[in-house]
Amino acid sequence: MSDGRDLFSPRLGLTLPLCGLNFVFFFLIQMDPQRAFRTFAFQPGLALSMPWTFVTYQFLNSGAFGLFFGTLMLYILGMALETEWGTAEFTVFWLVATLGGSLAAWLTGGLLTSGWQITGVSMLFAYAWLFPETVFYVFFVVPLKVKWMAWLGALLLVWQFLGAALSGQIGAGLANLCGASAGFLFFWLRHRGVQKAKRAKRDAVAAIKTAGVLREDAVLERRNRDLFPRVEEVRLAARQGGDLPPKLKEFETDLRKLVVTGVKICKPVDFKGDKDGICVKCEGFAECSLRYVKGEPAEIIFKPRG
């Protein structure tokens, strides 16, 4: 995850075309406001015959204020989120918020002539969740952490909903509330899902590694337990003096081949042969066995626990 400051990724993606559409629709409104709103605003009664309006209401801004702040919000937050998630994931997020607003307006009979608040607040919530300590300068002057901006955005949504409900226009207020909530809910579920998937992957890898280590320990222990009786034979023959029988010489040669270089072995006195479950699981068992054959340690002393 990035730190939230890589806001202006130099790629086309989805954010820049969305910003461009805001300006295109703004010019269409300036040329013929009535026709533009009649064609692209979301009207519940005409929604099925004009299905594009489920999305196009997002790009309508009647004033320069809405165009400026809506596009600026989309550019800064959208570019950061698209950089963080990738274009495909960000596209789904944007569509969920947009359709969440238009579907809520359709069900409640609300008219939508602008949508930048829906996606803007939704993106603000998601951004604040990812990068809560990032500082923005409100009106380019006042420093404010994005997490507090998100809380202010939430209060604004609730205030607008209450105002719309009291004025008898609950549809528009509910559309803003549902659209922003739908986008953030999608992000939250996705975010938790990704975290759980990563945690499950880590646990699976750890389990596989643990199982592999246990399996290797079991194989090593079985081999070393099988070796040690012959090690005792070689030690006994060595203590009796004279040359070792050919078979024992051959075994001693094979034992030297099993020595793993670089393994940190214990002091001779700590060698327990096959009497405990520690030495027999160690890669240094062959080296310690050869040392034992030479009389180090002189005797194996094993004290059982308990």
How far is residue 204's CA from residue 73's CA, in Å, rounded to a whole number?
A: 40
The number of domains in the chain is 1
pLDDT at 212: 63
| pLDDT digits 0-9 by tens, 58-88 | 999 878 888 888 898 889 899 989 988 889 8
Let me know if residue 86 belongs to a domain.
yes
Question: Does the pLDDT value for residue 306 go beyond 60?
Answer: no
Question: Which residues on adjacent β-strands are paired with residue 137?
Answer: 143
Kindly report the pTM of this predicted structure: 0.58
- Tell which residue, 35, 61, 190, 224, has the closest CA to residue 122: 190
Question: Is residue 301 in a domain?
Answer: no
CATH number at residue 99: 1.20.1540.10
66 inside domain: yes
183 domain residue, yes or no: yes
Q: Phi-psi bin for 142: left (phi > 0), alpha (psi -120 to 50), beta?
A: beta
For residues 131 and 4, the answer to whether their CB atoms sit within 8 Å is yes
Q: Residue range 152-169: average pLDDT?
A: 74
Question: What are the tens digits of pLDDT across the range 228-238?
Answer: 888 888 888 88
* pLDDT for res 122: 84
Report the pLDDT value the prediction gives residue 49, as an integer from 0 to 100.
Answer: 94
Q: pLDDT > 90: what percent of the chain?
A: 16
**Three state DSSP letters for the chain:** CCCCCCCCCCCCCCHHHHHHHHHHHHHHHHHCHHHHHHHHCECHHHCCCCCCHHHHHHHCCCCHHHHHHHHHHHHHHHHHHHHHHCHHHHHHHHHHHHHHHHHHHHHHCCCECCCHHHHHHHHHHHHHHHCCCCEEEECCCEEEEHHHHHHHHHHHHHHHHHHHHHCCCHHHHHHHHHHHHHHHHHHHHHHHHHHHHHHHHHHHHHHHHHHHHHHHHHHHHHHHHHHHHHHHHHHHHHHCCCCCCHHHHHHHHHHHHCCCCCCCCCCHHHCCCCCCCCHHHCCCHHHHHHHHHCCCCCCCCCCCCC
Tell whether 305 is covered by a domain. no
pLDDT at 101 over 80: yes
Is 271 inside any structural domain? no
- Does the pLDDT value for residue 3 go beyond 60? no
- Alpha carbon distance 229, 210 (integer Å): 30
295: left (phi over 0), alpha (psi -120 to 50) or beta: left
pLDDT the model gives residue 294? 85
| 256 inside domain | no
Query: What contacts 158, CB < 8 A, 6 or more positions away?
Result: 177
How far apart CA 44 and CA 103 sit, in angstroms, is 9
Query: Tokens 């809380």 map to which residue?
Result: 151
Can you tell me the distance from the alpha carbon of 260 to that of 284, in angstroms, rounded to the nearest whole number? 6
Structure tokens at 244: 């070792």
Whole domain around residue 176: which residue ranges? 15-204
How far is Cα 54 from Cα 41, in angstroms, rounded to an integer? Answer: 8
Amino acid at 180: A
Q: How high is the pLDDT of residue 1?
A: 45
What are the φ and ψ backbone dihedral angles of 296, each rounded to 5 degrees? -120, 105
Residue 136: inside a domain: yes
